[in-house]
Amino acid sequence: MMTLALRFTLITALLLPGVSGQMVQMDSDRSGYVGSQVELRCEFINSNPPVKISQVTWQKFSNGTKQNVAIANPALGVSVLQPFKERVRFKNPAVRQRTPSLEDTTIIFNNLRLSDEAAYICEYTTFPAGNRESMVNLTVYARPMVQMSLSTPTIVAGSKDLKMTVATCTSANGKPPSVITWDTELDGEVNTEEIRNADGTITVRSDYIVVPSRETHQQRLTCISTYNEEQYTDSVNLNIQYEPEVIIDGFDGNWYINRDNVQLTCLADANPAISLFQWRYLNGSMPDAVELRDDTLIFKGPITYGIAGTYVCDATNSIGTGSASVEVTVSEFPSFSDGVSQEQQRAGAAIGGAVVCGTVLLAAVTLLAVFFHRQRRTFKGDYSTKKQVLGNGLGKAGGLAPCPSLPHSLSYPEDSSDEKKPELYGAEHIQEFHDYPDSRVKSYSTVEDSTRYRYDEPSYLYDCGSEVEISVDMVPQMDGSVISKEEWYV
């Protein structure tokens, strides 16, 4: 886009009779940081017919007022005015020659100041065309000074509800102002404010607010200041002071008579460090067998019942005092064998548990085997229960044998006058029959049970070509064998 100054120059050239094409070329905007260097370009375009340059003047235009900065005159030479004399010069050496060339009158600003920020006009005085000029806007930036600091040298942990500023991040004297953010794992609140300075810069201050405690000690806070797309970081570690938190280590609950090498140690978490440890024995005077060594109580010699009691440790630093106690008991025997660690005991317990589980499982398997075996014995038609047969005392599955002949003489016991009980010789078991017929009878043999059975009601079964009278207490089977009801329903 064409700048306002350039448009003005073109319009002026067009209005002047007989003049065309003369113009002043400049950048519309330039910028630099305080202390840096910047060039302000100014070139004169002199087309035919050429015009004579009588003088070139640089001016600072601020708040509606013009102030001369530098002048180049073919007859008088070059002049730079105060307060720019030591910081402004013409870039092209030809401008400073005895016969100067003024078509390029670019100037260089060194060591920029915030006060240099303004609009600058480059004006050409020509003959017979008159004046030609253009303008550039100079912006001066100021990099801030970023500083991270603790709010006070000493931060003491207080009430759980008491919040305070623990760290402050400052981005001072920046232009434009910075944007401050925090990077930390510590929960807290942020309070940020901007302060405008007389020179046009802005100071940004951001406070980090937390409740100081032992948990916030050594937490890291990082301040990130973002300025003009640049980032500056600074970090601190919080130093929170707090009174001691104390525990007593050493008593494992297994102190027994004649145990050696035992001690109690006072452990304290504190900032600053502990300056004094003190031990107390609440059951009277400290036992003679106890030796005090700063934070440790050493029990000399084998343990006796006399060391039992309550021991207290007091730990003190500059903030306060913390205390802890332990109740020492002494037993007659150890709770586990000497030389066997608790880890080994736990391992032994695990193995023992596995053995018990295995034993229970084996017993369950055995019971199941017995149960199924009994089921097999009482299952109808199972040949393991049909070993009682008429004839030779063998099951048919065991092979056929010739039927034994009936004895020629039968003897009766003297104590039985009503029932005649024949003794069947040559059979494994003696069977008792009521009113048996005078015919050949097979003995009833039981392989697994040798008890005698009584048959009260007749039944008939053919075996070896003979009809035999048997009791209804017998259960005939499909293969010709018989089983007593008593055994059948076992």
Query: Residue 67, Cα to own-chain centre: how many angstroms?
Result: 67
The band of 168, judged by pLDDT with boundaries at 50, 70 and 90, is: very high
| Mean pLDDT taken over the chain | 76
Its pTM stands at 0.55
The band of 23, judged by pLDDT with boundaries at 50, 70 and 90, is: confident
Count of H helices and E strands in the chain? 3, 34
Q: Which two tokens stand for residue 247?
A: 């525990």
**Alpha-carbon gap, residue 88 to 110, rounded angstroms:** 6
Q: Which CATH architecture has domain 145-238?
A: Sandwich (2.60)
**For residues 475 and 100, which has the higher predicted lDDT (pLDDT)?**
100
| 246: pLDDT strictly greater than 70 | yes
Burial of 214 per CB tally in 10 Å (0-12, 13-18, 19+): middle
**For residues 184 and 479, which has the higher predicted lDDT (pLDDT)?**
184
What is the CATH topology of the domain spanning 245-328?
Immunoglobulin-like (2.60.40)
- Tell me which amino acid residue 153 is: P
What's residue 324's pLDDT? 97
Q: Nearest to residue 314, comparing CAs of 248, 215, 241, 240?
A: 248
CB-based contacts of 65: which residues, under 8 Å, 6+ apart? none
The band of 365, judged by pLDDT with boundaries at 50, 70 and 90, is: confident
- Tell me which amino acid residue 188 is: G
Query: Residue 352, Cα to own-chain centre: how many angstroms?
Result: 36
List the strands of the sheet with 38-40, edge to edge: 38-40, 107-109, 88-90
Q: What is the DSSP string of 83-137?
A: TSTTTEEES-GGGGSSS---SB--EEE-S--GGG-EEEEEEEEEETTEEEEEEEE
Identify the DSSP state of 414: T
Q: Which two tokens stand for residue 341?
A: 């660690």
Digit-coded pLDDT (tens) for 49-77? 778 899 999 999 998 999 999 999 988 88
Domains 4-141 and 145-238 share a fold: yes
**At residue 452, what are phi and psi to the nearest 5 degrees?**
-90, 150
The band of 22, judged by pLDDT with boundaries at 50, 70 and 90, is: confident
**Alpha-carbon gap, residue 259 to 416, rounded angstroms:** 84
**Alpha-carbon gap, residue 108 to 337, rounded angstroms:** 93
What's residue 476's pLDDT? 63
Domain ranges of the chain: 4-141, 145-238, 245-328, 337-378, 380-490
| 2: pLDDT strictly greater than 60 | no
- Tell me which amino acid residue 334 is: P
Digit-coded pLDDT (tens) for 386-403? 444 444 443 333 444 444
What's residue 426's pLDDT? 40
Are 205 and 170 contacting, i.e. CB atoms less than 8 angstroms apart? yes
What's residue 448's pLDDT? 39
Q: Which two tokens stand for residue 27?
A: 């950048």
List the strands of the sheet with 290-293, edge to edge: 155-156, 240-249, 262-271, 296-299, 290-293
Identify the DSSP state of 270: E
| 420: pLDDT strictly greater than 90 | no
| Residue in this structure with the two tokens 């600003």, named with its chain if needed | 109
The band of 373, judged by pLDDT with boundaries at 50, 70 and 90, is: low
| 407: pLDDT strictly greater than 50 | no
**For residues 28 and 100, which has the higher predicted lDDT (pLDDT)?**
28
What's residue 31's pLDDT? 95
**Domain 4-141, CATH number (from 2.60.40.1180, 1.20.1340.10, 3.40.640.10, 2.60.40.10):** 2.60.40.10
